[in-house]
Amino acid sequence: MITEESIREALTQVKYPGFSRDIVAFGLVKEIKLVGADVEVTISMQTKDAKVPEQIFKDAQDALNKVEGIGVTRVNIDVKNPDAGVQGGGDAGGGGKSAIPGVKKVIAVGSGKGGVGKSTVSSNLAVALAKAGYKVGLCDCDLYGPSTAQMFGTDQQPMANEKDEIIPIQAHGVKLMSMSFLVNDSSPVIVRGPLATRYTQQFLRQVEWGELDYLILDLPPGTGDIQLTIVQTLALDGAVIVTTPQEVALIDARKAATMFAKVNVDILGVVENMSWFECAHGERYPIFGDGGGVREAERLKVPLLGQVPIDVHTRECADRGTPVALMDAGESVTSGAFGEIAERLNGILK
Ligand code: ADP
């Protein structure tokens, strides 16, 4: 018997061109209509590349025709230009991506590798933007290693409003959402595949973000399911890549950059973290090498948004739950660096 489920199952055979994930996992199948054995499927996506819808159309037809006992099939492809969704600021409609109502700009912060300081940069960037007077939200999309509760020094549990949306936690002038508010330290989060996708969608859409100038998304490291869900289903204004100057980090940063490029997300710039260590005598030591972030920005033809030194104070501030960017720029070089990064980003997105 032909059911919606069996059709959905058949459509999992259709991969998004260039990715190993399928169109169902990406949430692109918007409607399945059945009349007896006749099937009408609507698939929507945002892309500027005409080859993508052509390929998906063909593959979806093939997949449906393989379903035993299927009658007449019809595949509707709804293509939206990603730029239209971003500029409109509102809901981009049935496309694969859509903007979050009330949120003016969404920026993803990604890295190829863990431990390069992506969460540190995301948190401090959020604080620096809030300090500059913007309304800012930070969504920690790392379901497996969330760090926001720690970095913002709060262990409150979020409440829901009457529409069943999660009310974000507020700390240091930033609205926060993170898995770290929902689980305690000792309970590992074991969600994978479709469930991880669903949680991520919930984090982004079923949260009462309200009016925001900026929503910063702290992506998990690498280029897995969650990152792809986000870049594919949300109209992002761009991405920031965090790397250390070290070659091993740069290799992975390139993979992250390739992922953003594949799905037409603009790379706004590179932040080089742990650029140097300055000793008490003012001498700088390039612990992880020199100029890697600069070269990577040049290679990607994007701005270097800033260089952040490695210092004990930044780590202590993070562990204490008071991001270093809260300090006056005169008191901390690192805070000053984050202020400049926020300013540059703002200039680019104006
Ligand atoms: P990621 O999100 O890339 O995994 P984190 O932001 O969690 O990395 O940083 C990893 C560790 O390094 C944390 O303990 C953080 O406090 C520390 N750290 C990050 N950037 C700096 C820096 N510029 N100076 C000192 N410590 C840093």
Q: Which atom of ligand 1 is nearest to the CA of 115?
A: 4
Ligand 1 centroid from CA 319, angstroms = 10
Band of pLDDT at residue 52, cut at 50, 70 and 90? confident
Q: Which atom of ligand 1 is nearest to the CA of 309?
A: 23
Ligand 1 centroid from CA 311, angstroms = 10
What would the mean pLDDT of 264-292 be, rounded to a whole number? 91
Q: Percentage of residues in the chain with pLDDT exceeding 90?
A: 55
Q: Is 123 in the pocket of ligand 1 (CB under 6 A)?
A: no
Q: Which atom of ligand 1 is nearest to the CA of 310?
A: 24
- The more confident residue out of 66 and 50 is 66
Mean pLDDT of the chain: 87
pLDDT at 185: 60
Q: Do the beta carbons of residue 151 and residue 181 sit within 8 Å?
A: no
Ligand 1 centroid from CA 7, angstroms = 45
Residue with the nearest Cα to atom 24 of ligand 1? 310
Residue with the nearest Cα to atom 17 of ligand 1? 315
67 vs 62: CA distance, rounded Å: 9
What confidence tens digit (pLDDT) does each residue in 287-305 have? 898 889 999 999 999 999 9
Ligand 1 centroid from CA 221, angstroms = 13
- The more confident residue out of 47 and 171 is 171
Q: Which atom of ligand 1 is nearest to the CA of 319?
A: 16
Ligand 1 centroid from CA 191, angstroms = 25
Which of 217, 275, 315 is the best mutation target for the ligand 1 pocket, counting ligand atoms within 8 Å of the beta carbon and taking the most?
Answer: 315
Specify the range with the lowest mean pLDDT, choosing from 182-186, 238-242, 308-312.
Answer: 182-186
Q: Domains in the chain and their CATH numbers?
A: 4-80 (3.30.300.130), 103-349 (3.40.50.300)
Q: Do the beta carbons of residue 30 and residue 9 sit within 8 Å?
A: no
Ligand 1 centroid from CA 186, angstroms = 21
306 vs 259: CA distance, rounded Å: 22
pLDDT at 327: 95
Q: Is 180 in the pocket of ligand 1 (CB under 6 A)?
A: no
Beta bridge pairs of residue 212? 103
Q: Do the beta carbons of residue 331 and residue 323 sit within 8 Å?
A: no
- pTM listed for this prediction: 0.77
**Listed ranges 86-100, 241-255, 310-324; the one with the highest mean pLDDT:** 310-324
What would the mean pLDDT of 238-267 be, rounded to a whole number? 88
Per-residue pLDDT at 192 exceeds 80 = no
Give the position of tokens 């981009």: 92
Per-residue pLDDT at 239 exceeds 60 = yes
131 vs 129: CA distance, rounded Å: 5
Beta bridge pairs of residue 44? 78
Q: Is 147 in the pocket of ligand 1 (CB under 6 A)?
A: yes
pLDDT at 98: 58
Residue with the nearest Cα to atom 14 of ligand 1? 315
Ligand 1 centroid from CA 115, angstroms = 6
Per-residue pLDDT at 190 exceeds 70 = no
pLDDT at 86: 37
Q: Is 94 in the pocket of ligand 1 (CB under 6 A)?
A: no
In three-state secondary structure terms, 325 is: helix
pLDDT at 284: 93
pLDDT at 302: 93
Measured in residues, the chain has a length of 350
Handedness of CA 198, 196, 201, 32 (dihedral sign): negative
What confidence tens digit (pLDDT) does each residue in 156-170 have? 888 989 988 999 999
Per-residue CA distances from 46 to 41, 178, 201 (Å): 17, 27, 17
What would the mean pLDDT of 280-288 be, rounded to a whole number? 90
Per-residue pLDDT at 278 exceeds 80 = yes
Q: What are phi and psi of 64, to 5 degrees?
A: -65, -40
Q: How many CB atoms lie within 10 A of CB 142?
A: 22
Ligand 1 centroid from CA 83, angstroms = 33
**Which one-letter DSSP state was computed for residue 309?**
-
Give the position of tokens 């070290």: 246
Q: Is 124 in the pocket of ligand 1 (CB under 6 A)?
A: no
pLDDT at 184: 63
Per-residue pLDDT at 256 exceeds 70 = yes
What confidence tens digit (pLDDT) does each residue in 91-147 have? 333 344 557 889 999 999 999 888 899 999 999 999 999 999 999 999 998 877 788
Q: Which atom of ligand 1 is nearest to the CA of 273?
A: 23
